[in-house]
Structure 1
Amino acid sequence: MTKENNEKRLLSSLQNALHILLSYSLDTPLQGITDISNALGLGKSTVHRLVTTLANEGFLVKDKETQKYRLGYSVLALSGVVTSNLDIYNESLPIVRNLVNKVDETAHIGVLDEGHVIYLLKVECNHLVRFLTHVGRRNPLHCTSSGKVILAHQETEFINNYIGSDLNGYTKNTITNPKTLLNTLTEIREQGYSTSYEELLEGVHSVAAPIRDYTGKVVAAITIVGPKQRMLQSKAPFFAKHVIEAANEISMQLGYIKRKSKI
């Protein structure tokens, strides 16, 4: 085998190993060799070899009862390194906690990730009703308040490419018409916040505002989410006020300075 072919083989193995790790989620915390093989379209022998290597390094752990594999503590160690070094995580945590205390609803910080919004941080409220959201969860942009507020501040080319793709419907309230979504994004930019009323999950409302870095670029969103019985549409101004204040405070911590318009 030539050096070039060997390098290609190693690169392919690395990519497949990463795909195996990324195939895990809260919905699929345990997977066997066959599960992974079917999900990724890889041969069982290839999966077995890579899983064995990942297990030896602590990235996967074999469950003694099911004989399936779950993520190991090596992944947790890496996630700790990432979150501890993310400015937006460190700067926003106390502000998000304060927001939750004010509105008594759960709050998230989300960022753009390959056409989705992914949650970096979550602070629960004290209510017993909780939602199936978690750190690391990826949601569509067009039917979440955080996703729409991030999408609204992207470059025109990105927005056009996104609305040109399939806008999947999740509930009867999901925006699936490109023109309607474009108009909604314009409204979001003008009012400074976004809402989602049962657009992703029935019975769930949310309000989000954009977070900017020192250059003024929108790099994340802060969201509060709750059941429609508490987060009434008529209370949107109240929730928007507090979520915008929190977003502005985080933006300032990241170095953003709002410049006054010239008269």
Structure 2
Amino acid sequence: MNGEMLSSIHNAFKILREFSQDDPELGVIELSRRTGLSKSSVSRIVQTLCKEHVLQKNIDTRKYRLWLTAFELGSVVYHELEVCRVGLPVLKKMMESTPGVIQLVVYDRGSIVFLLKLPEDDEAQIFNSMGVRVPCHCTASGKILLAFQDELEINRVLKEKMKSYTKKTITTGEQLSIELQKIKQTGYALSREEFKIGVSSVAVPVYDDLNRVIAAINVTRPTQLLSSAEIDNVLKEMKYCSRLITERVGIKLSNSQRRQILAAKVTNRWRI
């Protein structure tokens, strides 16, 4: 792929990112001003995007808006994140009996992204919020999600430089590799002030019907409120909620297929 084509793709994404709920329609002049691209370049790109049905021109306003292809691509992401929709009521129920900040987290290329956070009050601002991206090596949810990636991805992350956030942060591939092996054996992960001093967390995986880890449930508390005895109690509730989410979010399989997979692969998923 030559440099000119790469530049065009990059500029197309710059244009697409300008559309939002606040600005659903934008004209060529406005897009040019926002992106720093010339009006001729913007005009050429939006015409191409219109041909692919990524954008549509409003004849009345002469402005452009996202159209069907953008919707179709977004729908793919939406369905992948159905775990978020299914997980919300489960985690709300969990919050009634589990003190602390409860989060639903997904993995993305060596980092984690927080999808849900309960409760969402001002007092919990010291904890990570929805949409925040954090390296996976320094949190419980990050380590549990990394532990269940394929070997190529794990090895890639182990070779990367790891930032130190506190004196307790794991910063070498050798240390992290040992931790990941332990996590795979126990089925849960802990972070004791590895990301923030005074804050600890515990995380368990969420599976789909094919035994793939698709997310993690994370409970974060001040360190003094997460003793070993408390961890045992929290884990029981977390694994129960993980099982509920898995049962409700699974891919579309027949009952017989689901029973076969569950019997063959997930007998010990939620062992306490």
Specify the alignment match of 2:136 in structure 1: 141
Q: Which secondary structure does the structure 2 equivalent of 1:186 belong to? A: helix
- For 1:147 and 1:163, how far apart are their aligned partners in 2? 13
- The alignment's TM-score, normalised by the length of structure 2, stands at 0.67
Q: Is 1:153 aligned to residue 157 of structure 2? A: no
- For 1:18 and 1:166, how far apart are their aligned partners in 2? 32
Q: How does 1:109-258 map to 2 (within 5 A)?
A: 109-124=104-119, 128-255=123-250, 258=262
Stretches of structure 2 lacking an aligned partner (at least 5 in a row): 20-31, 43-65, 251-257, 268-272
The higher radius of gyration belongs to 2
- For 2:6 and 2:181, how far apart are their aligned partners in 1? 46
In structure 1, what residue type is equivalent to 2:148? H
- Superposed CA deviations along residues 28-69 of structure 1, whole A, max 9, x for unmatched, are xxxxxxxxxxxxxxxx9884459xx8xxxxxxxxxxxxxxxx
Identity %: 27
Structure 1 position 135, deviation (Å): 1.2
Across the aligned residues of Structure 1 and Structure 2, the Cα RMSD in angstroms comes to 3.3
Structure 1 position 130, deviation (Å): 3.8
Tell me: CA distance 1:174–1:234, structure 2 relative to 1, closer, same or farther (3 Å): farther
Structure 1 position 254, deviation (Å): 2.1
- For 2:124 and 2:81, how far apart are their aligned partners in 1? 30
The structure richer in helix per residue is 2
Specify the alignment match of 1:108 in structure 2: 103
In structure 2, what residue type is equivalent to 1:120? L
Q: Which secondary structure does the structure 2 equivalent of 1:225 belong to? A: strand
- For 1:90 and 1:246, how far apart are their aligned partners in 2? 14
Contact 1:193 1:244 in 2 (8 A): no
Tell me: CA distance 1:125–1:9, structure 2 relative to 1, closer, same or farther (3 Å): closer
Specify the alignment match of 2:14 in structure 1: 16
- The alignment's TM-score, normalised by the length of structure 1, stands at 0.69
Specify the alignment match of 1:33 in structure 2: none
Q: Which secondary structure does the structure 2 equivalent of 1:224 belong to? A: strand
- Superposed CA deviations along residues 92-118 of structure 1, whole A, max 9, x for unmatched, are 111111111111211111111122111
Structure 1 position 134, deviation (Å): 1.5
Aligned with 1:90 (options 52, 72, 85): 85
In structure 2, what residue type is equivalent to 1:14? A
Contact 1:109 1:221 in 2 (8 A): yes
